[in-house]
């Protein structure tokens, strides 16, 4: 039977025999991967001091409660900035990491358990293509040995047939068979990536995880690889989880797109919808900052360039520290103009992150010419730094702000923060935005969506 699997062109029929019949009825046949509330935290080693103080080491919340599905034969694009957890997600789905919480079901069976009992068996069904093709190929193996390795490890078919299979694969990915005895160092980046793809295809998987497969390549070569990926997807009926930070590539290849920010899904929708009617401000920013040959970089930008650390992610909506449309307070004590509110919120963020302590204030005042450090001057300088107007339009808000500024000028940062803690609290800081259903297959996690 092994030989048949190996040789047959349409392998889909033989695949289904891999799934034990008991699970077939339980699952939706269209869904290949189902991820439920998946969390993956990385923990630092518990050091001596941690042990002595009996405290837990800090956790890095790389993936923090994501749920989604991948259908058979579809491409799900994952996009986000560096550090948003996209690669961790891929590795956890592959079973390379044990999830901290939640489950990944692959064709109805739990991946973590499958991997524990028989990693090899699972590996035949899901494969990964890495970003940097030069570091994932063994420099001391020839191309033939590299592509043959998975076949040897999994003992697919009799040995002579394996070489035929290797040749078939290598031709499929657009290389000539006379290159098979070369070493990876003799190839260009694009050719190496083709080898990476051939190796991933060798075991006839159902799911390919593509972790930034084209970001190290030139545009002309990137186009070749993208088209190759599209062709083999149709030919072998593969499902893709396609990770990239390049939105134009995502749009070209994906049926659906998932936008991640600091370990959470902020928006997921069919490709068309994400690009035409994005609902989440973060998606909008990503779109407007992607330059293309037609569209300039314009429009909305993040307020704060630094991405917060996933060690200690902001409370509430994780994007609130950078969001250009953060929701004003809803307690009806104070009213704000949008610009004013953003400036005041900036002041609050600065206070909270300790960027407005006494030393800092002294330095700020010193930068101004001919000014001594007194209360009025400090207040003025702080207003100027944060872009707050001389008086706020709402008198209650002005009073609260003035109290806070006075406390700050006296060197009491804590009181300053306390003064504005309640009145100037955005709903975005308080609550985790619920995932809202917007239209068919379009979900977004933003409070503004809920209000609308």
- Minimum distance of other proteins from residue 354's CB (angstroms): 10
- Minimum distance of other proteins from residue 277's CB (angstroms): 13
Residue closer to other proteins (CB basis): 35 or 356: 356
What is d(CA 408, CA 381) in angstroms, rounded to the nearest whole number?
A: 12
Are the C-beta atoms of residues 65 and 37 closer than 8 Å to each other?
Answer: yes
Where do contacts with other proteins occur on this chain (CB under 8 A)? 81-82, 188-191, 218-224, 226-227, 245-249, 251-252, 271-272, 275, 285-297, 301-302, 304-307, 355, 360, 363-364, 367
Cβ-proximal residues to 366 (8 Å cutoff; 6+ apart), any chain: 373
- Minimum distance of other proteins from residue 448's CB (angstroms): 19
Residue closer to other proteins (CB basis): 337 or 366: 366
Closest by alpha carbon to 261, among 212, 209, 327, 323? 323
Residue closer to other proteins (CB basis): 164 or 231: 231
- Minimum distance of other proteins from residue 4's CB (angstroms): 35
What is d(CA 57, CA 76) in angstroms, rounded to the nearest whole number?
A: 34
Q: Structure tokens of 213?
A: 């497969």
- Minimum distance of other proteins from residue 88's CB (angstroms): 17
What DSSP string describes 185-234? GGS-HHHHHHHHHHHHHTT--SEEEEESTTTTS-HHHHHHHHHHHHHHHH
Q: Which residues pair with 101 in a beta bridge?
A: 39
Residue closer to other proteins (CB basis): 248 or 333: 248
Angle between helices 395-409 and 375-386 (to 10 degrees): 120
- Minimum distance of other proteins from residue 296's CB (angstroms): 5
Q: In what order do the strands lie in the sheet with 239-244?
A: 126-129, 207-211, 239-244, 75-79, 256-261, 264-270, 442-444, 436-439
What is the number of residues in the chain? 452
Residue closer to other proteins (CB basis): 167 or 246: 246
Residue closer to other proteins (CB basis): 301 or 395: 301
Residue closer to other proteins (CB basis): 29 or 297: 297
- Minimum distance of other proteins from residue 223's CB (angstroms): 4
């Amino acid at each position: 039977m092994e030989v048949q699997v190996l040789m047959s062109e349409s392998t889909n029929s033989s695949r289904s025999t891999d799934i034990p019949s008991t699970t077939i009825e339980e699952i939706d046949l269209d869904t290949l991967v189902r991820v439920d509330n998946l969390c993956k935290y990385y923990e630092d080693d518990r050091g001596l001091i941690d042990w002595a103080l009996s405290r837990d080491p800090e956790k890095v919340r790389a993936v923090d409660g994501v749920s989604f599905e991948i259908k058979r034969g579809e491409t799900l694009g994952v996009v986000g900035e560096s550090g948003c957890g996209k690669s961790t997600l891929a590795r956890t789905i592959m079973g390379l990491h044990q999830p901290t919480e939640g489950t990944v079901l692959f064709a109805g069976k739990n991946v973590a358990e499958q991997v524990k009992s028989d990693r090899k068996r699972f590996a035949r069904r899901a494969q990964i293509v890495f970003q940097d093709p030069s570091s994932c190929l063994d420099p001391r193996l020839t191309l033939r040995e590299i592509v043959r390795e998975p076949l040897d490890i999994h003992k697919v078919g009799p040995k002579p047939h394996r070489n035929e299979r290797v040749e078939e694969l290598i031709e499929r990915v657009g290389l000539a068979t006379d290159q098979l005895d070369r070493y990876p160092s003799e190839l260009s980046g694009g050719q190496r990536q083709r080898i990476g793809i051939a190796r991933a295809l060798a075991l006839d998987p159902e799911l390919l995880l593509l972790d930034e497969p084209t970001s190290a390549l030139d545009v002309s070569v990137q186009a070749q690889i993208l088209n190759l990926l599209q062709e083999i997807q149709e030919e072998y009926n593969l499902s893709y989880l396609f990770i990239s930070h390049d939105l134009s590539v995502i749009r070209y290849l994906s049926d659906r797109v998932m936008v991640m920010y600091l370990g959470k899904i902020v928006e997921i929708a069919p490709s068309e919808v994400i690009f035409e009617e994005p609902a989440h401000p973060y998606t909008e920013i990503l779109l407007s900052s992607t330059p293309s040959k037609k569209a300039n970089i314009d429009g909305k930008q993040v307020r704060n360039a630094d991405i917060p650390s996933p060690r200690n992610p902001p409370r509430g909506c994780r994007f609130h520290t950078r969001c250009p449309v953060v929701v004003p307070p809803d307690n009806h004590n104070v009213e704000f103009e949008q610009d004013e509110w953003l400036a005041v919120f900036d002041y609050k963020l600065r206070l909270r992150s300790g960027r407005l302590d006494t030393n800092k204030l002294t330095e700020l005042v010193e930068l101004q010419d001919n000014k001594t450090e007194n209360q009025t001057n400090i207040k003025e300088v702080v207003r100027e730094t944060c872009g707050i107007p001389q008086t706020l339009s709402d008198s209650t808000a002005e009073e609260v702000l003035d109290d806070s500024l006075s406390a700050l000028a006296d060197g009491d940062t804590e009181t300053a923060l306390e003064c504005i803690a309640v009145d100037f609290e955005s709903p975005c800081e308080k609550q985790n935005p619920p995932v809202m259903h917007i239209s068919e297959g379009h979900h977004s996690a933003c409070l503004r969506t809920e209000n609308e």
